[in-house]
Amino acid sequence: MRTVSEWYNSTFSSTAVFNHREDERIFRTRFKRTWFYIFLAVNVLVFIASSLGFGANEYHYFILNLILVNLVAVIGLNLLVGFTGLLSLGHAAFMGVGAYTSALLITEAGFPLVISMIIAGLVAAMAGLIVGIPSLRIKGFYLMVATLAFQMVIDYGVIHWESLTRGVRGIELPTPDFFGLALKEQKSYFVFLFAVTIVMMWGAKNLTRSKIGRAFVAIRDNDISAEIIGIPIFPYKLLAFSVSAFYAGVAGALFASLMRTAIPEDYHMMNSIMLLAMVIIGGMGRLTGSIFGVIFMTMVPVLLDNFFSYLSIVYDPNITIMLGPAKEFVYGGLIVLFIIFEPEGMFAIWMRIRDYFRIWPLPYISE
């Protein structure tokens, strides 16, 4: 029979790490694992509550879905930008490739969403391989611009290859289904998305704590010394590109099903910049940071929407024409401010808060 204090110590306060294996665990302390279970339980409770008719409604679940879809894309981009140090301004184009692949498979060939989603990811990964080829010879800024060229080419192709993509009208998608089970409500789509996101997050986490992830980080920190210690750089760079594009392709397929349509303007260069902004603001090279970044950057436009609709009621209905510029202003301003004042992103803020509360009630007792 353990005492309460023993239980407390073993659950919450044992942070000592004795070997590499323990250091590489997904949940390094039981504390973290406990919080993760609490998080899952809260999600289930919110879901049950909303099924009974109170709490979150369909609109809330739509926003949650948006966050989850963006999260999948941003995890992928973070693997490329944050872990491998290869900048990409063409990620929305990978999403577009995935979205159109899945839309065509679902509407023309009648594939179920899960299979078309995976195929969309694979097609996007192939595109990623092709875009990654210049990384053999160029890096840093030049590579960023090469991906931008890919973005331009996809923008053009999606709009003008009308026989395949139906141009600016886009492709309408049916209700998403999970092997015959129609996910008609946002709420039920949320359950599906949540499962997919957990799997994708788990995959990314495992990738980063394996040999491949360590090779990525070595290439990011210094590519020449990475090559000297025996990491074949080019295959790993290509791998980073294709994995990242796979995530983006899956996210694109999920996004198209969420919106019930695949239209060119959702995969424009602007969206690439927004995805990059989510990675930067969340914290590069931090998967936890990506979660913060995505939630924050998805909520900002939503809150601005609500704020402007409130203003238009109490103040002047014409003010809604300012909504678009206001969103851009806030987005751009946040990018600038975060890079100047908090280059490590929201993850650094989170770490500071956590370090403060770790010794919170009794700060004079050292660890």
Which range touches other proteins (CB under 8 A), out of 4-12, 32-40, 178-186, 318-326?
Answer: 318-326
Q: Please, which residue, 74 or 113, has the CB nearer to other proteins?
A: 74
- As measured in angstroms, the least distance from the Cβ of 336 to other proteins is 4
Contacting residue, 37, 156, 202, 307, with other proteins by CB under 8 A: 156
Which range touches other proteins (CB under 8 A), out of 13-21, 26-34, 174-182, 223-231?
Answer: 223-231
Contacting residue, 223, 239, 244, 294, with other proteins by CB under 8 A: 223
Long-range contacts, stretch 103-112, CB < 8 angstroms, 24+ apart: 103/171, 103/173, 103/253, 103/256, 103/262, 104/164, 104/171, 106/173, 106/174, 106/257, 107/171, 107/172, 107/173, 107/174, 112/177, 112/178, 112/179, 112/180
331 binds other proteins (CB under 8 A): yes
227 binds other proteins (CB under 8 A): yes
Q: Please, which residue, 81 or 258, has the CB nearer to other proteins?
A: 81
CB contact burial 71-80 (16+ within 10 A = b; e otherwise): bbbbbbbbbb
Contacting residue, 67, 77, 80, 87, with other proteins by CB under 8 A: 87
Contacting residue, 129, 304, 319, 326, with other proteins by CB under 8 A: 326
307 binds other proteins (CB under 8 A): no
Contacting residue, 30, 33, 60, 139, with other proteins by CB under 8 A: 139
Tell me how crowded residue 335 is: count the other CB atoms within 10 A of its CB: 18
Q: Please, which residue, 78 or 186, has the CB nearer to other proteins?
A: 78
- As measured in angstroms, the least distance from the Cβ of 219 to other proteins is 9
305 binds other proteins (CB under 8 A): no
328 binds other proteins (CB under 8 A): yes
Q: How many residues does the chain have?
A: 367
Q: Please, which residue, 55 or 232, has the CB nearer to other proteins?
A: 232
The residue ranges that bind other proteins (CB under 8 A) are 87, 134, 137-142, 144-146, 148-149, 152-153, 156, 159-160, 223-224, 227, 233, 273, 276-277, 280, 322, 324-326, 328-329, 331-336, 339-340, 343
